[in-house]
Amino acid sequence: MAEEFFDVALQTTSGSFDPRNQDWDRFAPPQSDFSLGADFWIGELPYNTDSDVVFDACEPAGFNHRPYRQYGCRYAFCRKAHPPTRDHEFYAWDNEGSLARALFLSRLIHPTTVAPHYSARLIFRDGKLTNVVPANLGYGSHVWIVAHEWRDWLSKTEAEELRTGLAVYNVQPPERVRRARAHIDHAFHAFYLTQRTASLVSAFESLLKIGRNGLAAQFRLRAPTLAQLVGLTITLDEANTFYDERSEFLHGSQPKYADLTDELMERYNKFESVLRRALLKASTDPSFCGLFATDDAIRGAFGR
């Protein structure tokens, strides 16, 4: 009997808002299976599998407790996996890392809450579902959005950008880019804005700092220049404020985030947008990535 293995990650409708208030026509998601590459797509689950089967497998069963599910599946990231060659790979979700890479790159393009919380390996035998194995990754199973309202899905245009980016994604970038990607990924998975701010500044520093002296001054000098290079704007005052807020958190002072004001979220999202756009370009454009290859390259592009 022929066995097939599919790794999937479900984007729920729980974070979505009334599409009439979200310019649905302009930002509609792909309406059918959208190819991201060979045996890789955004759309329906393989063999028309009911999404509730995956939701049920990924949620704690409880005892005598089955509340009505108040959300569904907007779409799923689906990839047909190579047949396992070793025992430990049989139930291992995304052991090749392709799905995780696509989810990360999609967040650089437009952050959504799709995450391994509702991810699983689906095993079929002769086209019939036999096993649903939750990803069960522990930390990193959820991602969060810093906004009161947010379009929690990729548009068709963004899906096209993702497909293009995956084809040229740099899996072995300079060390600066690799560290910055790790820090922004940590920010995506952090719930508290204080933690996200610290991770975001660490990502900027991974890209831009030289040596161990004058770190605050380097951030304030180079973050606005990085924003300009990717078509956005950060002022010197904004850079000062953002770095000071990060420092207050790291050094144990009382954070200012007891209330999530619109001003705090707007400032955070401005810096995250700059970093997302910069890392997207550094991950897909070799010439831009080269700006972060050496200390001399940093000095040449961002000043001494």
Rg of the chain's alpha carbons, rounded to an integer?
A: 21
Q: Can you point out the beta strands (E) in 49-127?
A: 73-81, 119-125
- Mean pLDDT (the chain, rounded): 90
Q: Which of 123, 151, 167 is the last residue of a domain?
A: 167
Distance, in Å, from the CA atom of 260 to the CA atom of 237, rounded to the nearest integer, reads 20
pLDDT at position 256, please? 57
How many domains, in total, are found in the chain? 2
Do 223 and 145 belong to one domain? Answer: no
Do 41 and 178 belong to one domain? Answer: no
Closest by CA position to 136, among listed 106, 103, 98, 94? 94
Distance, in Å, from the CA atom of 31 to the CA atom of 110, rounded to the nearest integer, reads 18
pLDDT at position 84, please? 85
Q: Which of 107, 133, 167 is the last residue of a domain?
A: 167
Q: Mark out the alpha helices in 131-253 (DSSP H runs).
A: 156-168, 175-189, 193-208, 215-229, 236-250
- The one-letter amino acid code at 18 reads D
Do 45 and 192 belong to one domain? Answer: no
Do 13 and 142 belong to one domain? Answer: yes
pLDDT at position 77, please? 98
Do 156 and 183 belong to one domain? Answer: no
Residue span of the structural domain in which 286 resides: 172-302
Residue numbers of the chain with a pLDDT score lower than 50: none
pTM equals 0.93
Do 107 and 248 belong to one domain? Answer: no
Do 58 and 94 belong to one domain? Answer: yes
pLDDT at position 202, please? 95
pLDDT at position 267, please? 93
pLDDT at position 196, please? 93
Do 41 and 131 belong to one domain? Answer: yes
pLDDT at position 198, please? 92
Do 254 and 160 belong to one domain? Answer: no
pLDDT at position 247, please? 82
pLDDT at position 16, please? 53
